Chains A and B, each alone.
Chain A
């Protein structure tokens, strides 16, 4: 029995705000509200990483938020996709280059779909989620790692990978290159 086609039919969403101005977050909520009603495609806003398939990230990733971002990403079971919503999450937006932000989500976790706009329109967000569902259907169930852990994590932690160790190592690597 091919279960892959059901991934598309019941995507559960985790929404995380990494220091956004709340503009994109309000638009995400507008998608779930009666006018656009994403629940008719089975989309639920679970707010729980362990039961979600799609991570909707907004905001330019402040230095306080990056630990939580890595933690949430690693707590989601595979297959999973990441949608960066809004200009800030894609590139840093108006906050780009400031001392307290990290210029976009894809410095820390692999992003599958970028939804531009400041704030992103609900129609664009729905398009992005639909595109993400196409990617989700093709995804494999292998363990997915955060950006800074890809490549050499098995040499550091050994073959017996454990999600908790990976999270700890990923967070440690966030602070490796800090200058202050």
Chain B
């Protein structure tokens, strides 16, 4: 991808993510036999939040919300500009760390509980992400996204179990049911984002849209240089994630961590070992 295109795509990513989120709300509504909001609804929310009177808890808390947006945006830029996958993953961890620190810095117990659960989230799905990156490296011989998008090999053909594990950890990344424990809206009302309001909530809200683009771009990488297959995988995984979101209830954090550590990570490791045996 050329430098200009990557910058333009990064700048447009909130817009793309907002459209994806709006489309997701429609898909979710149709799955529940409802009509659902218009597709531009996230942008209406965005402009409304801009108009609200701003309330700050303290300036550090608001700053952490904005840093969450910037960190997520930067990790997406690392991916789109053809950078290193691992660096993108670690910047994403860093951006979530900003959210966690912001969550811990206020006195609201919901915020503190949410921040702790956010850490448990990271503990659960980040190993799957890193191992998926390792799998992509074993198949294509590079961590660079720009090289990955040029290879002739199609990683998903040799990494089917890694892809399945990655797909099943997507609900945890996007904070969807059954792994939405960090922002369980019915019990801790958004978790670490509870104390943000007005313009500062807008930053957190936008960062969540960017995370959609970030997560689904990872899915796209599993098709290597085959862009058509990549698009198919993205659409398919989008519908599967929403179907799982609608069909399941929230699990508790022990079940979430044990699902990731006892099922998904062994799945990835088995795939990588079979790959090594097959090569030897």
* Interface residues of A, Cβ cutoff 8 Å to B: 3-4, 6-7, 9-10, 12, 34, 37, 39-42, 46-48, 50-51, 53, 75, 77-79, 141, 143, 163
Contacts and interface: CB of A to CB of B under 8 A. Distances in A.
Interface of B: 25, 29, 32-38, 41, 44-45, 47-55, 185-186, 189-190, 194-198, 201
Nearest to A3: B51
User: Nearest 3 pairs between A and B by C-beta?
Assistant: A50-B197, A6-B47, A9-B44
B196 to A, nearest CB: 7
A77 B56 CA distance: 10
A6 B52 CA distance: 11
A168 B54 CA distance: 20
Contacts of A42: 37-38, 41, 44-45
Nearest to A140: B53
B37 A50 contact: no
A9 to B, nearest CB: 4
B124 to A, nearest CB: 25
Contact of A3 (B33, B41, B47, B186): B47
Contact of B48 (A10, A48, A141): A10
Given A3-B51, A10-B45, A141-B53, A50 B201 contact: yes
Given A47-B189, A50-B196, A50-B201, A79 B53 contact: yes
A41 B35 CA distance: 10
Contact of A40 (B37, B47, B196): B37
Given A41-B37, A47-B185, A50-B55, 15 more contacts: A3-B47, A6-B51, A9-B41, A9-B44, A10-B44, A46-B189, A50-B194, A50-B195, A50-B197, A51-B197, A53-B48, A53-B52, A77-B198, A141-B52, A141-B53
